[in-house]
A and B are shown apart, each in its own frame.
Chain A
């Protein structure tokens, strides 16, 4: 093992940057069309997509039917995951099992329950492994060998076809943005260590960088509820790799030994807490960051003159409007991960790119092989372009020689129509998505596009993400998606609710100074263990070994 699925994805993405590409697309559908002589109908439970008016009359649906001779009988499921789950459960309980589920957000525990436990989902290994049935998916998995671990269930079967969406900038989504105009104005260098950062924040607070004569500046601000808008994970990562605001248990794997651990009880985390407490106490870190929502952060961001020095988020558009506040938008640039007192630095590499179980077959399906061939068609640039953009020739076309993509390499396709918010031409983000990095980078883009313009967003994100990528650590990675048996996940969930609540409460207590770090630490670690941290880790370790060790 030692090698994690995510690495493969990233390397896959970067190889595109490195190697020259022919304009001829790499992934084209390989099936014999139509797929069947006699028309076949599938009952499909499909997640609604807000901007598609009606799937059954949709233009892409019609094209798809003509091309493949497969007709779809849609049962629409709600868009949001909670209601979707209710609908699926009710359909199954009432005996109205659909044949194929698409986009139903089948998580690992649902998979374990309906797959290996209740045998409602069909195992798909035999179709995936057969290059005659699924030539494209099979080839893609051969190129990305570690992806197999991610999509395999607890019993060794694969119950779902994955969604492939290699969003390079999302794989390094923990980003901090700093006002470079302020740095310039105060004659400061871009900080590289936590101490330098502390000094920069102090200067932001005290030296009136917005020049209105008032000490109204907020050096560093975060928010609780939007995409990577909490500041703590970025700061903690200068002491020990923090997996980000969405992974509250902060689990890591040592790449050499394969040992699973949590940073919550480690000394480096304790040091990080002291640093956070210092920023909080001196009000360099806006104290309300721990409670405010992104709506308030946006308002503070929009103050005139600007009062924010540094803020975290997956992309700055979450807090700044790139059109209405374009000057401010341009003022902010990426703050690369900082080195801690021991020279440690890190940034989490997220397992973005591959989502298991985008398509699931149920035992009601009469012709699984045909369905598998049909699904495989979607893992191609031609199907994906039609699905996402619409008709070839009117909504998009293949790139011509000389046209370049986002990354400056030859483009793959060019978009012709900007489309409407609500339409019935394509499926948009619905259905089976196949967007490998090469495809995303292959979008025809004007060379030398202004990175500060709204249209330059993706190119800008590409550039700044490349800057933080060298900070990804090799010795330790965040725990990839791990799957649990039904009894395991029951036990785990009960422990997790308690552990998460306690560690979060205690984190803010340390941070705000309500509890002194040095004095409170021992009791904190003891309480974590009382709440079952070690048991929790043992279950994670067991599941991780089962899923990834065997696959290598």
Chain B
């Protein structure tokens, strides 16, 4: 009886808001065609792929590819290195675009604001190859501007690219350098939408800038911050391959070998699609766990999350 009423109300809601289903139909159709239909490819993670037999007819081999990752002598190392790079990027890189956006938002001079916005946004378009090339140049112990300044200040030149302990910092901060302005765009848009009335009210109340930012701006963009933070946890294992690979050398290998580069080095052989599918699946599962956890924490603490 209770159930009946409940489903009854639900049904009523569905009927009342039928137009919402009309709106969502097209994007859902897209999701089905371009994401769900191809999903059968995931079974490759458990198969020995034969290209002439096709995905469905290829023989099963169980968890063999996962075993490889876990039993290889460096398996633990590559997973740890991946996690270090990822969390370091997240912790160091996540707050900076927010600060930049707030700083830009507080800049009254339009020309300055727009120019700096544009400058900080531009490096996003530099290709990875050139970015790494610039890094080697700027950080070179003998030629690089970094070490020259350092020497002027009386320090000894540091071989940034050859020190395994510095590898993650170089990777992360160059990433921040490249992506900060681009990531700030979304916060700028969110700040633009913070209610002008609240701003006005705060000003009339005699709030300092800091108080205004703290009590009006930040809460205004908090939902965006939380959404992006939670989403980021869904990509923790997905550290890109190209930049790390280009930065690798024998001196830093102990911290620069990550899952993606390991798969690249192994996967170029026959297993090809199957091995990389399996590793991709492993990454996805870890990402799911992290995302769910992050979402749960977000809901507990701020009452907003992805769902």
Interface of A toward B, CB cutoff 8 Å? 89, 92-93, 109, 112-114, 117-120, 224, 287-288, 290-293, 295-296, 299-300, 486, 489-490, 493-494, 497-498, 501, 504-505, 507-508, 512, 531
Q: Which of A89, A112, A119, A290 contacts B272 (CB 8 A)?
A: A89
CA gap between A501 and B159 in the complex, in Å? 21
CB-CB under 8 A from A504, the residues of chain B are 250, 253
Task: State whether A118 touches B52 (Cβ < 8 A).
Answer: yes
Q: Return the chain B residue nearest A290 by Cβ.
A: B251
CB-CB under 8 A from A112, the residues of chain B are 270
CB-CB under 8 A from A497, the residues of chain B are 72, 74, 262, 265-266
Q: Which of A295, A493, A531 contacts B269 (CB 8 A)?
A: A493
Q: Return the chain B residue nearest A493 by Cβ.
A: B269
Task: State whether A494 touches B253 (Cβ < 8 A).
Answer: no
Once A288-B162, A296-B137, A300-B143 are accepted as A-B contacts, the answer to whether A498 and B52 lie under 8 Å apart by CB is no
CA gap between A89 and B249 in the complex, in Å? 31
Known: A93-B54, A300-B142, A505-B250. 8 other contacts (CB 8 A): A113-B51, A114-B51, A290-B162, A290-B249, A296-B137, A296-B140, A494-B72, A504-B253
Interface string of B45-77 (1 = CB under 8 A from A): 000001110100000000000001000111000
Task: State whether B136 touches A490 (Cβ < 8 A).
Answer: no
B88 close to A (CB within 8 Å): no
Task: State whether B68 touches A118 (Cβ < 8 A).
Answer: no
CA gap between A252 and B132 in the complex, in Å? 35
Can you show 21 pairs from A to B with CB atoms below 8 A apart? Answer: A89-B272, A89-B273, A92-B51, A118-B51, A120-B52, A288-B141, A291-B159, A291-B162, A291-B252, A292-B161, A295-B137, A300-B142, A300-B143, A486-B270, A489-B270, A490-B270, A497-B266, A498-B74, A508-B251, A512-B251, A531-B73
B257 close to A (CB within 8 Å): yes
Least Cβ–Cβ distance between B247 and chain A, in angstroms: 10
Q: Return the chain B residue nearest A119 by Cβ.
A: B52
Once A291-B161, A296-B137 are accepted as A-B contacts, the answer to whether A501 and B51 lie under 8 Å apart by CB is no
Least Cβ–Cβ distance between B160 and chain A, in angstroms: 9
CA gap between A292 and B253 in the complex, in Å? 15
B254 close to A (CB within 8 Å): yes
The 9 closest A-B pairs by CB, nearest first: A291-B162, A504-B250, A508-B250, A118-B52, A291-B161, A493-B269, A497-B265, A291-B249, A109-B269
B133 close to A (CB within 8 Å): yes
Least Cβ–Cβ distance between B259 and chain A, in angstroms: 13
CA gap between A38 and B159 in the complex, in Å? 67
CB-CB under 8 A from B271, the residues of chain A are 490
CA gap between A497 and B269 in the complex, in Å? 12
How many of B's residues come within 8 Å of A, CB to CB? 34
CA gap between A523 and B296 in the complex, in Å? 48
CB-CB under 8 A from A299, the residues of chain B are 143
Task: State whether B52 touches A288 (Cβ < 8 A).
Answer: no
Of residues 143 to 200 in B, which have CB atoms within 8 Å of A's CB atoms? Answer: 143, 159, 161-162
Least Cβ–Cβ distance between B65 and chain A, in angstroms: 11
Interface-centre pick from B137, B161, B250, B253 (highest chain A CB count, 10 A): B250
CA gap between A507 and B249 in the complex, in Å? 12
Task: State whether A501 touches B257 (Cβ < 8 A).
Answer: yes
Least Cβ–Cβ distance between B144 and chain A, in angstroms: 9
CA gap between A508 and B253 in the complex, in Å? 11
Task: State whether B270 touches A109 (Cβ < 8 A).
Answer: yes
CB-CB under 8 A from A512, the residues of chain B are 251
Q: Return the chain B residue nearest A108 by Cβ.
A: B269
Task: State whether A505 touches B136 (Cβ < 8 A).
Answer: no
CA gap between A498 and B140 in the complex, in Å? 29
Task: State whether B137 touches A501 (Cβ < 8 A).
Answer: no
Task: State whether A489 touches B250 (Cβ < 8 A).
Answer: no
Task: State whether B250 touches A118 (Cβ < 8 A).
Answer: no
CA gap between A490 and B269 in the complex, in Å? 7
CB-CB under 8 A from A498, the residues of chain B are 72-74
Task: State whether A293 touches B136 (Cβ < 8 A).
Answer: yes
CA gap between A109 and B272 in the complex, in Å? 11
Least Cβ–Cβ distance between B174 and chain A, in angstroms: 15
CA gap between A290 and B141 in the complex, in Å? 12
Task: State whether A113 touches B249 (Cβ < 8 A).
Answer: no
Task: State whether B249 touches A224 (Cβ < 8 A).
Answer: yes
Q: Return the chain B residue nearest A532 by Cβ.
A: B73
Least Cβ–Cβ distance between A179 and chain B, in angstroms: 19
Least Cβ–Cβ distance between A216 and chain B, in angstroms: 10
CB-CB under 8 A from B142, the residues of chain A are 288, 300
Once A120-B51, A293-B133 are accepted as A-B contacts, the answer to whether A113 and B74 lie under 8 Å apart by CB is no
CA gap between A93 and B266 in the complex, in Å? 22
Once A498-B72, A505-B253 are accepted as A-B contacts, the answer to whether A292 and B270 lie under 8 Å apart by CB is no
CB-CB under 8 A from B51, the residues of chain A are 89, 92-93, 113-114, 118, 120
CA gap between A290 and B133 in the complex, in Å? 16
CA gap between A224 and B248 in the complex, in Å? 10
Q: Return the chain A residue nearest B254 by Cβ.
A: A505
CA gap between A117 and B269 in the complex, in Å? 14
